[in-house]
Amino acid sequence: MRSRPFFAALAGGCAALLQFAGALKTTPPLAALPFDLSLAAAAGLCGLLPLLLAGGGWRIGRVVALPLLGAAGLWLWWVVAAAWAMHGDLAQGKLLPMVLLGPVMLLSGMLLGADDAARQALGAWVVGIGIFVGVAVAWGLATDGVVLGGRVGADPARTRVQYQLAGLAVATAAGLVAIWLVEQRRPGLILLAWVMLLGLMAAVFIPGGRAALLAMGVVVVLMPGVSLWLRGRRRAALLWLLASLLAGLGGLAWLLGDPDRADGIRTIERVFGDPSDGPEERVAMWRAALGMVDGLGIGPGSYPQAAGFGADAGKHPHNHALEALTEGGLPGLLLWLLAFGGAVLVALVRLPRVAPGRAAAIGALVLPVAITVMVSTDLSNRMAWFALGLALSLAVERRGV
For 225-282, the pLDDT digits (tens) are: 999 999 999 999 999 999 999 988 888 777 777 666 666 666 666 666 654 455 667 7
Task: Enumerate residue ranges in the chain where pLDDT < 70.
Answer: 1-3, 150-157, 258-280, 313-314, 401
The DSSP annotation for 281-342 comes to HHHHHHHHHHTT--SS-S-TT-HHHHTT-TT-TT-S-S-HHHHHHHHHHHHHHHHHIIIIIH
Please give the backbone phi and psi of residue 161, each rounded to the nearest 5 degrees, phi first. -105, 130
Q: How much is the pTM?
A: 0.92
Predicted pLDDT at 301: 85
For 112-147, the pLDDT digits (tens) are: 999 999 999 999 999 999 999 999 988 888 887 777
Q: For residues 92 and 379, what is the distance between their CA atoms, to the nearest angstrom?
A: 13
Predicted pLDDT at 170: 94
